[in-house]
Structures are given as C-alpha cells and as structure tokens.
Structure 1
Amino acid sequence: MSVDLVHTGLAGQTVGVLRELVLTGEIAAGERVNEVGLAQRLGISRGPLREAIRHLASEGLLVLTPNRGAHVPMVDNDGVRALFELRAALECATARLAAARRTDADLARMREVSAASRAAFTTGEFPYRLDLAFHGALLDAARSPLITEQVRLAQQRVILLRAAQEVAFSHEQASMDDHDSIIAAIEAHDGERAAHVMATHLDRVRDQLLT
C-alpha cells in the first residue's frame, strides 16, 4: 500500500491510514502494531500514531494491552454471533426507516453504488468500500444519526473479520442481489420487505464467517 501523509490534519490522516491497514488485513488479526516501523514508514513521530491507535481502539478495531502495545483483535464464533445480533437489530430498523423517509436522490445514490459494485466485481474485485458505500447510502436515507453512528462501528468490525477470508463468488453475487432487492423494497415504501431482505442478507454474511 502506498502511503503519503501531509502535515495538515496529520492526526486525522494517520487514523485513516491505520484504519485502512487494519481493514484490508495488511495488519492481520492477532498481529501487533509495530509502532517504530510504522512511524518510520509514514514519516511521522510516534505521537500522532499513538493517538490514532487509541482512536481505533475506541472503535474496537485494535486492542490495547498494558506494556505490550496494540494488536488487531481475533473474534471467536460467539463474538461473531453477538456482533451480527447487534448489526441485524440496527440495520433492519434502518431499512424500515429508509423505506419511510427516502427521497428520489437517495434511491439514485443506492442504485449508483449497486451498479459500481457489479462493475468492480466483473474485474474480480469487491472492494469493501463499495459495500460500505451501499449501506452508507441506506443509512443516509434512514436519517437517524444515532443509528448511523453505531452501524458504522459494527460494519467496520465485520470488515475486519472478512479481511482474512477468501469470499466465494456465489456469496458476493448473492449480496449484490440482496442490495438490489432492498432498493426495490425501499422504492415501494415496503419497510417490512426491506427489513426481511436485510435480515436474510446479514444471516448469510454471518454464516459465511462462521464457516
């Protein structure tokens, strides 16, 4: 990964770069963050790096251990189930709210991201950013800032789990189909249908992680 930091907003940029390294699996689950090496690589002092580490620890993407530094967490099956219980409760509610509150602009944005996901997938890629972008567009349509904040934290932790796995073509194809079904339900103002598809979608992702 190529990294280029400028000094304006250094702390925020360092958080963004470190988050990228964790979510893409470049710093793998169970691996310790090498503060000295990473600070040298980024061309910064360890101060802003440690601030970024504390920030990601507050989001659950890193674990701080006294006298041992920070490492990327590993989650067992019970942790996966608990995370998806939270995510399902929040995102099914999001789907219902989006069906009630969406605008034409919201629908256009969801369709745009869905199309971009399919275009990227034909090249053999399914960037996590596009998955986040779809769910982000859904959150924007729901217009519930408190739910949005919590969903985004939960989504990051799911991406962290998926970073170490090779995802099957059939799974990603099904996920994109789910996205389109959710869009159709939201366009029809059918909140229950949107929530049902979301629940099925999240169950599939959970089961894929558990296997």
Structure 2
Amino acid sequence: MTPPIPLGLTGQTVDALREIVLSGEVSAGQRVNEVELAARLGISRGPVREAIRQLASEGLLVLVPNRGAYVPVADATEVTLLFELRTALECAAAGLAAARRSEADVTAMRAVCAESRRSHRAGERFPHRLDLAFHNALLDAAASPRIAEQVRLVQQRVVLLRSALRDDPPHQTASLDDHEALVDAVEAGDGARAAEVMRAHLERVRVQLVAEVGAGPRS
C-alpha cells in the first residue's frame, strides 16, 4: 500500500526527518531521539511521532517495541532483495522513457547530469538529492505513475544504505557515466538499450553495496 501524502506540519516534519535520515546524519543502528528532534525543529512531539511512523512505513526507520525508532542496519540480503525489485521496476521505466520522452524530459535529465558532474568535481560526497533527481526525471519521462510510486520508495531505501558507507569517488564517476549513457539511449528512443544500461548500472551499484556492507561503516 502506498503511504499517504503528508500534509501540513506533519508533512514538513516528515520531509525534515527524511532528509536527516537519508543524509546519514543519524547512523545505521542509531535511535531517533524524539525529544531532541522536537526541540531542534521547534515543534511538539506529536508531529515527530507521526513523522517517525510515516518513515517506518517507508522502510526508512524500524520501530522496536518499548525502545523507539532506529535507522535500519544494512546487510547483503537486504541489498539483494531491494535491487531485485528496483531492477525489475527501473528497467521497465527506462524502456518506457525511451518510448514516451519529450524534449523537455531529455533537457531535464541532462541538466541533472551536468549538476551532478559539477558537484562531483567539487569534491562533494555522494549527492543523494541529485541521484534521486536524475532517477525521478527518468520516471517523469516514463509517464507511468504506478511504477514511479514504487520505484521512489525503493530508491530512498537504497540511498539510506549508501549514506552509511564509505565514499567511493571512482564508483560515483561510473554512476555519472551510466546516467549520461541512459540519457543518450532515452533521447535516441532506444528502449532496449536504455533498459540494458539501467540493468548494468543497478547491478554494479548492487555489487558495490554488498561489498561495502561487508566492509562495515565509513570512517
């Protein structure tokens, strides 16, 4: 079931907490402190509890009875299961994007690629916002809202796993190359090629994540 769209103060709190979690500010296995978070955001604990429940429904937090909410710890099995689902969904989306893309869609994807390159060259750590922005632009081009809903939930769980791991500039470079190859295939209307590039991209990310999970958290 797709989580409800958050509204008002609770929605703002969900967005704020999601950013805190996805950025790696709260480490894997660490508890989310309701009191500290409410004080930081200048709100009561009610919206914080609602935000925690929302993120738990998305798989970004784990609720432990009588102990609170924790950021989940990655393992190889979880990575593999997530990528089985993500690969099936995003390869389909890549093929649809090649068939349905508009000029504006291609322009949007290329703009994110350019900004991602700039960020990488500036030495910024894995830019999860830009990675999500690229894949979201591709989903927009695919024009399949049901696929997009499910992909976005899986995507952010992958971002959460990556936030806890060591930075890997060569891997980031390869991912940016993959993104640009995807745009080329989508712009050319080559659905088979777009799906192939997406599959190879996600498999390489999966292998890298499995290896990094075994190596432990970044220092």
The TM-score normalised by the length of structure 1 is 0.94
Q: Distance in 2 between matches of 1:181 and 1:95?
A: 12
Equivalent in the alignment of 2:13: 14
Equivalent in the alignment of 1:205: 205
Question: Offset of 1:9 from its aligned partner?
Answer: 2.5
Structure 1 window deviating more from structure 2 (35-44 vs 51-60): it is 35-44
Amino acid at match of 1:173: T
Q: Distance in 2 between matches of 1:33 and 1:118?
A: 33
Q: Distance in 2 between matches of 1:59 and 1:165?
A: 21
Q: Secondary structure at the match of 2:69?
A: strand
Q: What are the within-5 Å matches in structure 2 for residues 114-193 of structure 1? A: 114-125=113-124, 126-193=126-193
Amino acid at match of 1:48: P
Q: Distance in 2 between matches of 1:114 and 1:75?
A: 28
Alignment RMSD: 1.1
Question: Offset of 1:10 from its aligned partner?
Answer: 1.5
Q: Secondary structure at the match of 1:167?
A: coil
Structure 1 window deviating more from structure 2 (165-174 vs 111-120): it is 165-174
Q: Secondary structure at the match of 1:61?
A: coil
Q: Distance in 2 between matches of 1:38 and 1:104?
A: 43
Aligned residues: 204
Q: Distance in 2 between matches of 1:173 and 1:108?
A: 21
Q: Distance in 2 between matches of 1:108 and 1:161?
A: 29
Q: Secondary structure at the match of 2:31?
A: coil
Q: Distance in 1 between matches of 2:99 and 2:78?
A: 32
Q: Distance in 2 between matches of 1:116 and 1:160?
A: 21
Unmatched segments (≥5 aa) in structure 1: 1-7
Deviations 1:21-74 (A, max 9, x none): 110111111111111111112111110000000000110001112211111111
Q: Distance in 2 between matches of 1:194 and 1:208?
A: 21
Q: Secondary structure at the match of 1:70?
A: strand
Question: Offset of 1:167 from its aligned partner?
Answer: 2.7
Equivalent in the alignment of 2:89: 90
Deviations 1:93-147 (A, max 9, x none): 0000000000011000001110010011111014111110100000000000010
Q: Distance in 2 between matches of 1:167 and 1:16?
A: 24
Q: Distance in 2 between matches of 1:103 and 1:171?
A: 30
**Deviation beyond 6 Å, 4+ runs, structure 1:** none
Equivalent in the alignment of 2:195: 195
Equivalent in the alignment of 1:3: none
Q: Distance in 2 between matches of 1:68 and 1:90?
A: 35
Equivalent in the alignment of 1:75: 74
Equivalent in the alignment of 1:26: 25
The TM-score normalised by the length of structure 2 is 0.91
Q: What are the within-5 Å matches in structure 2 for residues 27-66 of structure 1? A: 27-66=26-65
Q: Secondary structure at the match of 1:39?
A: helix
Amino acid at match of 2:82: L
